[in-house]
Amino acid sequence: MRHALHHKKLNRTSEHRKSLIKNMLNSLIKYEQITTTLPKAKVLKPQIDKVITLGKKDSLANKKNLFSKLQDKINTRKVTNVLSKRYLNRKGGYSRIIKARFRYGDRAPLAIIELVDRDINAKKIDIKKKTKESKSETTPENTKEIKK
């Protein structure tokens, strides 16, 4: 019998859905705030709460289970070292969903899912600062030398 086997399918195959959730979990752990559609955010919220709860219990088996869910060493370390310390006294509810707007192209409802008490600077991790050296590398003089 198929009792209590319901979940949101998100109009995807099971492999695509699993990889989508895994990638969104990794992005949420890395940036601590992402914008996505409302149904995806509702699917992601229980998953991130389970991952953080798993990271709070410090044992080798839990670290291996965490790595099997995330498949990323950096995010696994962040969950076990940073997020578990941040939410040590919190019993649950590590994330929140904020309804944002409707997407321009198809009017899909968008939502912001973020970690409670998040680090604001985590959003800027991959943004590279422009320096004078990088600007001089892309001058027209250097591009002419490459073409020759």
Tens-place pLDDT, residues 2-56: 888 788 899 999 999 999 999 999 999 999 999 999 999 999 999 999 999 999 9
Domains assigned to the chain: 14-120 (3.90.1030.10)
The pLDDT of residue 139 is 57
Structure-token pair, residue 68: 């099997």
Chain centroid offset of residue 75 CA: 9
Q: How far is CA 82 from CA 8, 54, 63, 116, 119, in A?
A: 30, 13, 14, 13, 10
The pLDDT of residue 38 is 96
Helix (H) or strand (E) holding 85: helix 84-86
The pLDDT of residue 128 is 78
The total number of residues shown for the chain amounts to: 148
